[in-house]
Amino acid sequence: MTKRIGADSTAAIEQPSRATSAIGRARGLPPLLSAPSRSSLTVASEKLFLAFLPPALLLVLVIARYAVGRHLGFDYRPLWEASRHLFDGTSPYPAPHAAALHDEQQFVYPPLAAILAAPLAVLPFGVAAAVLAILELGATGLTLWVLGVRDWRCYGVTLLWYPVLQNFLIGSITSLLALGLAVLWRYRDDRRVATLVSATVIAAKVFLWPLVFWLAATRRWTTAFCAVAVALAAVAVSWALFGFAGLTSYPRLLDELSRLETWKSYSAVSLGLVFGLSTGEARAVAIAAGVLMLAAVVLVGLRRSADSDRQAFVLAIAAAFLFSPIVWTHYLALLVVPIAITRRTLTPLWFVPLAMWATTGQSDGQAWRVLVGVAVWSVVLGAALRTPRPLPAARARVAQPIASLGLFGG
């Protein structure tokens, strides 16, 4: 600063010019300190919570699980054992009564799941469970990539979802099913790919059968017909490899399983039970809601608007949730698909599944837990039906890869 004498003989303080400041910087003078901008704080918090926290949390959970002797693959063990039954030529299915289903360690999938998992069954269980966990993690990332999500923050927040983490830890196949749904959506107009993928996911997990209504309602008649035919053929052939063991008792097995476990899940039937309905009444209400959802799939699919295909697809997933008497926490890992279809950059909807951290594990029939779980999948599916409004130009921000944010910079 310099002192200047004005015409009225008063002294005035003159601020240094930009040129003077530049000269000072050139001479190595220390720059003036400034508070971090809001954008820099935002980027720093994103790096902390969406880049560093997910892998750190995953590592902590794995170490903690091994420390208490629980290890990986609780849900995978029945599948691993069923695949080994295939090698032995014996039935993988338990007897359809409560005593045989008491510890949730029985194989209840269609037989195709055991055949698809057979390559891992040649490995010791611990090794196979670890390999499957890595495959599940990769499937989650690949699901987002297939659906065109390039915003790294979406990957980070998805890996913070409790359903995704639980799926990784217990070895369920839900993340692989989510990848199947992503591939089906992206290649829905490729008849061969859509037929094979839809048939596989339905034959491996029957509750996804409403996808056939979506294919038919959007005038993919041949794909829908071929998907049903291929799924039935796959189930028949896979059951033949087991000598058709358990085929006649399988419906009773599923019914007994529903009776024992519905109350502690996050399904529409569970919601009816906490509101005082009997099991029969709760099932009837859930089925009625599912039928209405299928009608919506057909009506929306036939409308042929710009959004009808996407909306019918989301409605078909919603119908699958409504019809299923059991909805476990890891089922909610499927929600990454309807979110990614319409939100390819980070929006508040990506954070909704984080609410499942409030009710980890099973609901145990507690009303507030059931309400949280049902609310999460209902809110996500409902929001995914709407086309998000584009951000104003002044607020729009192109998502940057982690490298461009300097995460790995020196």
Asked if residue 279 belongs to a domain, the reply is yes
Query: Is 34 a residue whose pLDDT tops 50?
Result: no
Range of the domain at 75: 47-385
Of the chain, the percentage scoring pLDDT greater than 70 comes to: 84
Query: Is 374 a residue whose pLDDT tops 70?
Result: yes
Per the structure, the count of domains in the chain is 1
What's the pLDDT band for 13 if we cut at 50, 70, 90?
Answer: very low
Task: Return the H-helix or E-strand segment holding 4.
Answer: strand 2-5
56-70, 100-114, 348-362: least confidently modelled range: 100-114
pLDDT mean across residues, the chain: 85
Asked if residue 23 belongs to a domain, the reply is no
Q: Evaluate whether 297 touches 210 at the Cβ level (below 8 Å).
A: yes
Q: Stretch 18-29: mean pLDDT, rounded?
A: 45
What's the pLDDT band for 37 if we cut at 50, 70, 90?
Answer: low
Q: Stretch 306-322: mean pLDDT, rounded?
A: 95
pLDDT of residue 35: 46
Query: Is 402 a residue whose pLDDT tops 50?
Result: no
Query: Is 23 a residue whose pLDDT tops 50?
Result: no
Asked if residue 36 belongs to a domain, the reply is no
Asked if residue 363 belongs to a domain, the reply is yes
Asked if residue 408 belongs to a domain, the reply is no
What's the pLDDT band for 157 if we cut at 50, 70, 90?
Answer: very high
Our CA angle for 215, 217, 220, nearest 5°, is 45
Asked if residue 350 belongs to a domain, the reply is yes
What's the pLDDT band for 361 if we cut at 50, 70, 90?
Answer: confident
Query: Is 226 a residue whose pLDDT tops 50?
Result: yes
Q: Stretch 371-388: mean pLDDT, rounded?
A: 93
Token pair of 129, please? Answer: 């469970």
Asked if residue 200 belongs to a domain, the reply is yes
121-125, 347-351, 357-361, 393-397: least confidently modelled range: 393-397
**pLDDT tens figures, 127-139:** 999 999 999 999 9
pLDDT of residue 122: 92
Q: Stretch 217-232: mean pLDDT, rounded?
A: 96
pLDDT of residue 99: 67
Asked if residue 5 belongs to a domain, the reply is no
Query: Residue 206 carries which DSSP code?
Result: G
**Residue closest to 339 by CA, chosen among 277, 304, 381, 291:** 381
Query: Is 8 a residue whose pLDDT tops 60?
Result: no
Q: What DSSP string describes 328-377?
A: -GGGGGGGHHHHHHH--S--GGGGGGGGGGGG-S--TT-HHHHHHHHHHH
**Residue closest to 125 by CA, chosen among 197, 168, 75:** 75
Q: What DSSP string describes 87-109?
A: HHT---PPPSSGGGGTTS-S--S
Query: Is 21 a residue whose pLDDT tops 50?
Result: no
What's the pLDDT band for 16 if we cut at 50, 70, 90?
Answer: very low
pLDDT of residue 12: 46
pLDDT of residue 71: 83
